[in-house]
Amino acid sequence: MAKKETMTINMGPQHPSTHGVLQLVLELDGETVVNAVPHIGFLHRGVEKLAENRSYHRALPLTDRLDYLAPMSNNLGYVLTVEKLLGITDQIPERAKVVRVMMAELTRIKSHLVWLATHALDIGAMTVFLYCFREREQIMDMYEKLSGARMTSNYFRVGGLSLDLPEGFVDDVTSFIDDMPGHLDTYEGLLTGNKIWQKRTVGVAPISAEDAIDIGLTGPALRGSGVDWDLRRDNPYSGYEDYDFEVITRDGCDTFDRYKNRLDEMRESCKIIRQAVDKLQPGPILADVPDVCLPPKKDVVNSIEGLIHQFKIITEGFKPEPGEVYQGVEAPKGELGYYMISDGSANPFRMKIRPPSFVNLQALPKMVEGKLLADVIAAIGTLDIVLGEIDR
């Protein structure tokens, strides 16, 4: 009898389709995966610890670098948590809330576009990749107009926004969401009905609803297993309860349904953005909480009181009451949560981040065991992981 041996293969951290620096140690029997062990930590920067040595305002830019494909969602989660810690959640001006929702949804589209691009590329459909990046570029341009940076936006502030919308910005957003459903149809035209695409995704990387809940899967991956759960609807924040949108759920538990889910989510995001644009009224963009929010620039340069006010916030920061809060937001990839402990000083005592990718990655071994090597690639793609968020 021939001796049966398995082959161990190190997939990553330098591999074209592990989405960054994920290392997968695969045990292969021919092309069949016997065992898959993800190794993480190659991108660890100690974001949680760094935050403990910064004032609350200054810890905000760190969050841009978590899920670098969806910086505004990370910003949103952080500012909402700090606002909850300060107890000023209901003092946030309406305009700031609407802009936050608008930008969070644009960010969702942006993140999903990168997911679709890389997922399709991994499975071999090269053209979709470039089409998606063409549309993503428009959102990047909006980011740049808004915050001056294409990726690390750092736009939201504790208490509101850093700047008001630039001139013509709303027109950009409107024309973008007018075109986007057409673009989505183009992507679907290339993929959804394609027999090869269906063969590569239907029934691939399955995860049952129970397993998904046990693992703590969130976001489109959870909703692809038929669990109807979306924080925007079930635990609304930043005024999401005032928007009319559907939570897309499918119960196929496979890659194809997760793919359809995300595409439909982009359509829903367009609807939300349209409602946000309609709701947008002129008004203040920062809460009237002088202890926390910076004074308007006009006061800083024209009056000594304004200058001192700004100086005090910049140098000392603000000191929330001792306590601890948790706030989760529905980031593009799932539930992004911040658990913040204050000891009454100007720096967070502890900032624990619950990144969706980190938790979702746990589903990978379960999804690929006994499947083929090519399915591993599809599974990594369908989980939509970002290593910046996993390693923090």
Partner 1 sequence: MPEMLSLSNDPILFLSLMLAKILAVFIVVILIVAYATYAERKIIGRMQTRLGPTMTGPLGLLQPIADGLKLFFKEDIIPAQSSKLAFLLAPMMILVPAFITVAVIPFGGDVVIKGFAVPLQITDLNIGILYILAMAGLGVYGIVLAGWASNSKYSLLGGIRSAAQVISYELAAGLAIIAVFMLSGTLSLRGIVAAQSGSVLDWYIFSQPLAFCLFVITSLAEINRTPFDLPEAETELVSGFCTEYSSMKYALFFMAEYANMIVVSAITATLFLGGPAGPFAGPINLLLKVFFFMFLFIWIRATFPRVRYDQLMFMGWKVFLPLALLNIVITGAVVVFL
For 104, residues 6+ apart whose C-beta sits below 8 A from its C-beta are 72, 73, 76, 238, 329
Q: Which of residues 200 and 392 has its CB atom nearest to partner 1 in the complex?
A: 200
Give 32 or 310: the residue with its C-beta nearer to partner 1.
32
* CB 39, min distance to partner 1, A: 17
* Secondary structure element (H or E) that encloses residue 350, with its range: strand 350-354
Residue pair 264/248 in contact by the 8 Å Cβ criterion: yes
d(CA 224, CA 257): 6
Give the nearest distance from C-beta 263 to partner 1 in angstroms: 16
- What the block records as the tokens of 305 is 């009181």
**43/374 with CB nearer partner 1:** 374
- Taking the complex as a whole, the smallest distance from the CB of residue 104 to partner 1 amounts, in Å, to 28
Output 72 or 377, the one with its CB closest to partner 1. 377
CB of 18 to partner 1, least distance (A): 10
Positions touching partner 1 (CB under 8 A) are: 7, 9, 15-17, 30-31, 120-127, 129-131, 134, 190-191, 194, 196-197, 199-200, 372-377
Our CA angle for 195, 205, 371, nearest 5°, is 95
- When the beta carbons of 170 and 373 are compared against partner 1, the nearer one is 373
Write down the least CB distance from residue 387 to partner 1, Å.
17
Q: What's the closest the beta carbon of residue 196 comes to partner 1, in angstroms?
A: 5
Secondary structure of residue 216 in the 3-state scheme? coil
| Closest CB to partner 1 among residues 42, 129 | 129
CB of 242 to partner 1, least distance (A): 38
CA–CA separation, 70 vs 91, rounded Å?
Answer: 26
Instruction: For residue 5, give every residue at least 6 positions away whose Cβ sits within 8 Å of its Cβ, in sequence order, or none.
Output: none
DSSP state of 228: -
- Taking each continuous run of H as one helix and of E as one strand, the counts in the chain are 17, 8
Whether 92 and 293 have beta carbons less than 8 Å apart is answered as no
> How far apart, in whole angstroms, are the C-alpha atoms of residue 52 and residue 356?
22
DSSP code for 40: -
- Closer Cβ to partner 1, 9 or 163, answer by number: 9
